[in-house]
Structure 1
């Protein structure tokens, strides 16, 4: 089964591949690996954090219009340089893993539940979408990541028509990303009014199944307390925890 280090590597791969596909940047400064995408910049799992490199990273963020900087860390890392730069401690990622075979993502060959296809008919794997409008319209651009070839990222959307007279309603989304033989699951959400209808498990199984067709044998994710019970019901177990630190530049201009 994957280690915490493999979970961290999968998340780093996801961030750097997104940046490459969406016009962001990735760079190193000594032991620090930074990734910028849009108005967010992230520091990815350093083992040590030199104060001068943090200052340079924050200065670069200000120069490029970044509004928020996140630092993803193991719990044993000295964070004094982040605190000195104004970062504040945030939420704890709970690292969870599962064997693909335990997630329940597959049906019989030749059916809609075959590897790479959602078992739940309310779930669709997509490479483009018209679901995002108004203030959320820019999210459609992120689906460029699903169109990179060879494909390493998969996007699934959930729909629900319960109680609706106007057809199906967009209810949630999830991503998976292949890093080596590990499928990382990211950005999974079911909008509150559609929760407790089985859509979360459907999304999870769909994106894990899609990554399995490209060679994933295990899946990893970081959970919040709200999501942990769902992931456990789909075969995941917690193997460790991390910590995040955050700096909101729009509040310090």
Structure 2
């Protein structure tokens, strides 16, 4: 049975891959794992938190100019140290799981508007840096798949999705359909495409974190909620910031 702990493991592996492949870093501070990649600086599912350890992470973020800083928690972890360090409660990931056979029955593996891609010229201007992330789809052996949706005579870029293989599980990430193109079945087609690619590579189940906006789509495609987590966020204060004072007695 796939559990919330499995969902958290796949999420951590995805952040770690993105950081280390795309020029960032993943590091441990005692029992805490931090990744610094295209998702920013993130603390991934600690079991025990201390104010001193959290502030060390914030010092690293300040030194690198990396804000906001995210912290992902299981629902049973005490967040007091994050609140003490100035983090604020954010959105709650709804962890969802599906048998990929059920997804295949509900969502097409391919369609006229959705294709798997290893590079694209869809990202320009302020979004140009996102194109670098498609290098993940070119890794060999393959562990990540990117799908894009294009519609109309001009092949307008309408949405995207990723899947990532971690053992027998496929994580689904960064799935979005831009507002003008919603309610056309593109979300279902994107989900089907990336899940089919991971299934062909050996995955048996898919996991993802959903928001209220996307949950209905995922349920329609065979996903069920198995748990809920929490995110916390630290935003740099406006203006000059003094270094955090040293904290003793709490390693």
TM-score normalised per structure 2:
0.92
CA shift at 1:185, angstroms? 0.1
Deviates more, 1:144-153 or 1:91-100: 144-153
CA distance in 2, matches of 1:67, 1:96: 28
Q: In the alignment, which residue of structure 2 is the partner of 1:219?
A: 206
Preserved contact between residue 106 and residue 220 of structure 2 (Cα < 8 Å): no
Q: 1:121-151, CA deviations, whole angstroms, 9 ceiling, x for partnerless residues?
A: 2101001000011111110001011111111
CA distance in 1, matches of 2:64, 2:39: 8
CA shift at 1:251, angstroms? 4.0
Preserved contact between residue 39 and residue 67 of structure 1 (Cα < 8 Å): no
Q: 1:82-120, CA deviations, whole angstroms, 9 ceiling, x for partnerless residues?
A: 00111000000000000010002699xxxxx7xxxx422
CA distance in 2, matches of 1:238, 1:160: 31
Q: In the alignment, which residue of structure 2 is the partner of 1:155?
A: 146
Q: In the alignment, which residue of structure 2 is the partner of 1:143?
A: 134
Q: In the alignment, which residue of structure 1 is the partner of 2:196?
A: 209
What secondary structure sits across from 2:208 in the alignment?
strand
Q: Aligned Cα RMSD in Å?
A: 1.6
Q: 1:218-239, CA deviations, whole angstroms, 9 ceiling, x for partnerless residues?
A: 0000000000000001000001
TM-score normalised per structure 1:
0.91
CA shift at 1:31, angstroms? 1.6
Q: 1:149-179, CA deviations, whole angstroms, 9 ceiling, x for partnerless residues?
A: 1110100001111xxxx52110000000011
CA distance in 2, matches of 1:4, 1:194: 32
What 5-or-longer segments of structure 2 have no aligned partner? 242-251
> 1:209-248, aligned counterparts within 5 Å?
209-248=196-235
Aligned residues: 240
CA distance in 1, matches of 2:209, 2:64: 28
CA distance in 1, matches of 2:13, 2:201: 16
What secondary structure sits across from 1:174 in the alignment?
strand
What secondary structure sits across from 2:148 in the alignment?
strand
Q: In the alignment, which residue of structure 1 is the partner of 2:249?
A: none
Preserved contact between residue 34 and residue 43 of structure 1 (Cα < 8 Å): yes
Preserved contact between residue 39 and residue 68 of structure 1 (Cα < 8 Å): no
What 5-or-longer segments of structure 1 have no aligned partner? 108-112
CA distance in 1, matches of 2:51, 2:105: 45
What secondary structure sits across from 2:184 in the alignment?
coil
> 1:95-244, aligned counterparts within 5 Å?
95-104=95-104, 118-161=109-152, 167-244=154-231
1:48 aligns with 2:48: yes
